[in-house]
Amino acid sequence: MAKDMSYDGVMSRRPEIIFTSAGIDFSKFERGGVVFDYEAMMESTGYTPDKIREVQSNASVGNTPIIELRNLTELARRYSSPGSGARIFIKDEAANPSGSFKDRRAATAIYHAKRAGYKGVIAATSGNFGAAVASQAAANGLKCVIVQECYDSRKTGQPEIIEKARKCEAYGAEVIQCTVGPELFYLSLRLLEETGYFSASLYSPFGVAGIETLGIELAEQFTTLIGRGPDAVVCTNAGGGNLTGTARGLLKAGCETRVIGASVNLAGLHMASDTNFNKKSFTTGHTGFGIPFATWPDRSDVPRSAARPLRYMDRYVSVNQGEVFYMTELLANLEGLERGPAGNTSLAAAFALARELPEDSVIVAQETEYTGAGKHVSPQLSFARKNGIEVAFGDPNDEIPGQSIILPDDPGMIQAREIDLNKLRASLIRHAKDAADRDLSDGDIEFLAVETRTDVEYVLKTLNTP
C-alpha cells in the first residue's frame, strides 16, 4: 500500500524517519509524560568531548582564536561610569572552513554519517548550517541536499538567505528552496525517507555536542590568557543550540562563567507569516526563533531537541536591528574586522553589557561569522527600504520591527534590553502542562524544575497561578 505523503502523513512518521536517518531511537529516552532522559540522549552519540575535538581538528574545524577588541573596549569606556567598562573579546569562529561555528555541528554529524555508511546528508536550514554541512559533506565525499525556507509567496527571497544558497551550491550541494511556512520540515522529512540519507539536524545530539568544544576552548584560552574564565559569555540565541552547547562545554571545562543569551528584537513579526517574512532584516539570532524555541524546544525536526537554552541561560537580552547594523560598521571601522550579522548580535549586546562591568572584567561574544554579498549592511538595508521599511538615524528605542530600522545617533545609545526569564520559564511549564493534557506527576514537576533551572516550588507556584 502506498505511503501517505500528505503533510499529516509524513509528520506522523517523524520518529521512524529520524530513527532511520540518524540512528537514534528517541523513544528509549522517554520516561513517561513530559519527562525524558536528556543526558542519556546526549551521551547516545557515543563521542566524548576529546573524540569530538579530534574529529573537528582533522576537519580543520575549531581551535579558533580569541581576539581582544581594544578599540571597542576604549569606546565603551567613554560611555561608562569611572572604573567601569569590561574588556571585550570575540571568539573568531569565522576562521572555520565555511565561516561560522556551525562547522562544529556539521563536522561531528558528517563524521558520524560517513562512519555509519550513509551516502548523503540532508539539512533543513536557511542559515550558516547549510554551508557548514555542504562544506563537510564535500570534504568527506558525501552527497548533500539543503532545504531552505527562502521566499514569500511572491517568490521574493532575502539577500542573506540567497547568499547562503550560493555558498551551499559552491560546495556542490543541491539546494531546494521553499516558501515560508510549515513545509520546511515536511520537505526535509520526505526527502530523508525517499533518499535514505543522514539527517544532519540542527537539533540532534550530534549537532549540539559538536558545539561543546567551543565552550571548552573558551575556558582553556582565557585560563591561559588571564588565569581564569571570562566573567560573561554572550551567545547569539535562535534555536538554542549555540547557547546550550557553549554552556555545556564551559561547565565540562569547570568554568562557571555567566552565560547570557542575546537576540535581535523582532517583536510583533510572526516568523511563519507570508507578509512578515520580508519585513525583517535578520534571518537568525532573533526573538522570532529565540523565544518560541526557549519556551518549547521540541518544535523542531526531531522528537526531542538537544537544544534546551533555559537549562543554561543566566540572563537573556535583546538588541535592535539598527544597533546590530551599527555594530557591524563599528567592528569594521574600529577593529578592521569585517564579520556578518549573527555574531554582531552578541557583540552589540556585549558592548552594552561591558559598560555595566568593572574595568578588570572580561566579556566575550562567543562567535563571529563570515560575511558576503548578501550579508553586508548595504544590501540588507536596501532590501528593507524596498519592502517599505523606514531606515534612519535616531534613537534605537523608536525602532518598530517591520516598520523601521533606527541606527543609533551615538554609540552610547546601544542597549541590552532585558527579556524576563521568568515569563519564558512560565511559558515552558504551561506548554508542558498543555502537551500532557492531564495533571502533571511528581516526576514531571521535577523534570520541569531542571528544564527551567528553578526548583519544584517554583514549578508548582507557576502551575497554580492563573
One domain, residues 322 and 353 = yes
Q: What is the pLDDT of residues 251-260, one digit of tens each?
A: 999 999 999 9
> Which residues, 6 or more positions from 284, have their beta carbon under 8 angstroms from its beta carbon?
126, 127, 128, 236, 238, 342
Answer whether residue 318 is part of any domain: yes
- The mean pLDDT of 440-445, rounded to a whole number, is 95
Could you tell me if residue 458 is inside a domain?
A: yes
Are residues 427 and 302 located together in one domain of the fold? Answer: no
Span 60-79, pLDDT tens digits:
999 999 999 999 999 999 99
pLDDT, tens digit, 9 for 90 and up, residues 215-264: 999 999 999 999 999 999 999 999 999 999 999 999 999 999 999 999 99
Burial 77-97 (b: 16+ CB within 10 A, else e): bebbeeebbbbbbbbbbbbbb
pLDDT at 1 over 70: no
Q: What is the pLDDT of residues 382-413, one digit of tens each?
A: 999 999 999 999 999 999 999 999 999 999 99
Would you say residue 46 lies in a domain?
Answer: no
Bridge-based pairing of strands 258-264 and 315-319 is parallel
Q: What is the pLDDT of residue 373?
A: 85
Residue listed under C-alpha cell 568554568:
255
Measured CA angle at 131 (ends 284, 90), to 5 deg: 60
Residue 357 or residue 163, greater confidence: 357
Inside any domain, residue 24:
no
Q: Within 10 Å of residue 417's Cβ, how many Cβ atoms?
A: 15
Cα separations in angstroms, 48 against 108, 246, 250, 319, 344: 11, 15, 15, 35, 31
Indicate whether 305 belongs to any domain. Answer: yes
**Which one of 400, 418, 436 terminates a domain?**
418
Domain that holds residue 427: 421-463
- Is residue 405 located within the same domain as residue 436? no
Task: Report whether pLDDT(350) > 80.
Answer: yes
Answer with the residue of higher pLDDT: 224 or 125.
224
Find the CATH number of the domain harbouring 241: 3.40.50.1100
Residue 195 near residue 206, CB atoms below 8 Å: no
Position 32 confidence tier, pLDDT thresholds 50, 70, 90: confident
Q: Is the dihedral of CA 199, 203, 209, 215 positive or negative?
A: positive
Structural domain includes residue 37:
no
Q: Note whether 426 and 408 are same-domain residues.
A: no
Tens of pLDDT, residues 171-202: 999 999 998 877 888 899 999 999 999 999 99
Closest-CA residue to 186 (of 21, 9, 27, 2): 9
**Distance in angstroms (rounded) separating the CA atoms of residues 382 and 38:** 44
Whether residues 265 and 368 fall in one domain: yes
Rounded to whole angstroms, the Cα distance separating 56 from 106 reads 9
Q: Are residues 451 and 340 in the same domain?
A: no
Total domain count for the chain?
2
Domain co-membership, 356 together with 391: yes
**Predicted local confidence at residue 33, as pLDDT:** 83
Residues in CB range of 418: below 8 A, 6 or more apart: 315, 316, 317
240 and 343 belong to one structural domain: yes
Query: Are 458 and 330 found together in one domain?
Result: no
pLDDT band at 211 (very low <50, low <70, confident <90, very high): very high
Residue 316 domain-assigned? yes
Q: What percent of the chain is modeled with pLDDT above 70?
A: 100
Same domain, 314 and 381: yes
What pLDDT, on a 0 to 100 scale, did the predictor assign at position 173?
97
Residue 30 lies in a domain: no
For residues 403 and 341, state if they share a domain.
yes
357 with 311, same domain: the answer is yes
Among 296, 292, 239, smallest CA distance to 267 is for 292
Sign of CA dihedral 1, 199, 264, 435: positive
